[in-house]
Amino acid sequence: MKITIEEYVNTAADVEVLTTILYVSDLELNKVASADVITGTDDEKYVTAKALKDAGIVPIKMIGGVPHKQLWVASWKPTITNGCAASNQIEMGTNKNVYDYLAFDPSATEYAYANVAFPQDYTGGAIYFEPYWLHPATTTNFGVAWGLRAVSFSDDVSLDAAQGTGVLVVDTGGVTSKLYIGDTSAAITIAGTPAAGEYVQFKTYRKHDDAGDTMAVDAYLLGHLLWYPVA
């Protein structure tokens, strides 16, 4: 059974742009409510991206009524100027699970960067992020303010360009070596003219002087889950 995700539609008359082909079983198709099947024969049906997300068939998150897909970014390195600590490892005591992290100081705003070629199904526009992090032992005040900003580059342009305005997510820890996942951020506008396939530099930071950043020890960043629009 072939299902085609339609970007914009609720009715067959609205069909304009087809984006992604998925091959799924009849059983999976039965997960999609009949009202969400827009048009097509028994062998090919057009289904809203939201319907497939709700059915658990594709990893789509609806933000502001627009479908977004996820992109995990964990290849962070300290910036040369005001960089965080170099990547390190932490091993859990009982099961010996090992995790890579970057430590961000509580007394100065420190930065790390990651470079990503954006996926071909990115349709432009704002993105969002969710920080994944942990922290060492501390007794009180567990707030951390994670920030992210970015700039996009097309072919044959200078790489020395200003990044867009940063957006913060304030999250609260509490237990040593426990995973914390921040809320989805507000919209991040990537500087430049971001498009599918462009080279994007992300810069993340811990904004130590934000009112919500209260934790007196290093914060350990594991990575950011990004959400980018596909419609």
- Specify the higher pLDDT residue, 152 or 11: 152
pLDDT in tens, 47-58: 555 555 565 656
Residue 179 burial class via C-beta count within 10 angstroms: exposed 0-12, middle 13-18, buried 19 and up: exposed
pLDDT band at 9 (very low <50, low <70, confident <90, very high): very low
- Specify the higher pLDDT residue, 230 or 188: 188
Q: b or e along 135-159 (b: 16 or more beta carbons within 10 Å of the residue's beta carbon)? A: beeeeeebebbbbbbbbbbeeeeee
Over 50: is that where the pLDDT of 4 sits? no
Which among 90, 19, 33, 28 has a CA at the least distance from the CA of 57? 28
What 8-state DSSP symbol labels residue 177? T
Over 50: is that where the pLDDT of 21 sits? no
Query: Mean pLDDT over all residues of the chain?
Result: 84
Over residues 186-193, mean pLDDT: 98
Write out the CATH class of domain 71-229.
mainly beta
Over 60: is that where the pLDDT of 200 sits? yes
Beta strands in the chain (DSSP E): 2-6, 18-23, 37-40, 44-48, 60-63, 66-73, 77-78, 88-91, 98-104, 110-117, 128-134, 143-153, 167-172, 180-181, 199-206, 219-229
Share of the chain above pLDDT 90, in %: 69
pLDDT band at 213 (very low <50, low <70, confident <90, very high): very high
Give the helix/strand (H/E) hosting 49: helix 49-54
Residues of each domain in the chain carrying CATH 2.60.120.260: 71-229
Share of the chain above pLDDT 70, in %: 74
pLDDT band at 65 (very low <50, low <70, confident <90, very high): confident
pLDDT at position 231, please? 75
- In degrees, rounded to 5, the angle at the alpha carbon of residue 40 between the alpha carbons of residues 34 and 44 is 95
Residue 45's contacts (CB-CB under 8 Å, 6 or more residues apart) are: 1, 2, 3, 4, 29, 37, 38, 39
Q: What's the rounded Cα separation, in Å, for the pair 23 and 45?
A: 11
pLDDT at position 139, please? 86
pLDDT at position 23, please? 38
Residue 109 burial class via C-beta count within 10 angstroms: exposed 0-12, middle 13-18, buried 19 and up: middle
